[in-house]
Amino acid sequence: MATEETLTCDFCGHQAPAAETLSWTVSVENGRRRRYCDECSRSHLRSMEGKLDSEFW
């Protein structure tokens, strides 16, 4: 039996059933799992790209 799990975005606190979080970004930092919803993933990607850019220059 599969229990419907509700996951919470670690950035904005948005909650969604696990089935809807397949497109979320999951990263492991210091052994702790962090989940970011679609919107936060996008903004994170932007800031990550920004970081990469600044490292490149």
The torsion region of residue 41 among left (phi > 0), alpha (psi -120 to 50) and beta comes to alpha
Closer to Zn ion by Cβ: residue 1 or 44: 44
Own/partner pairs, 44-49, CB within 8 angstroms, 24+ separation: 44/11
Interface stretch with Zn ion, choices 23-31, 32-40, 43-51 (CB under 5 A): 32-40
Quick one: which of 7, 21, 35, 40 contacts Zn ion (CB under 5 A)?
Answer: 40
- 11 touching Zn ion, by CB under 5 A: yes
Q: Rank residues 42 and 51 by Cβ distance to Zn ion and give the closer one.
A: 42
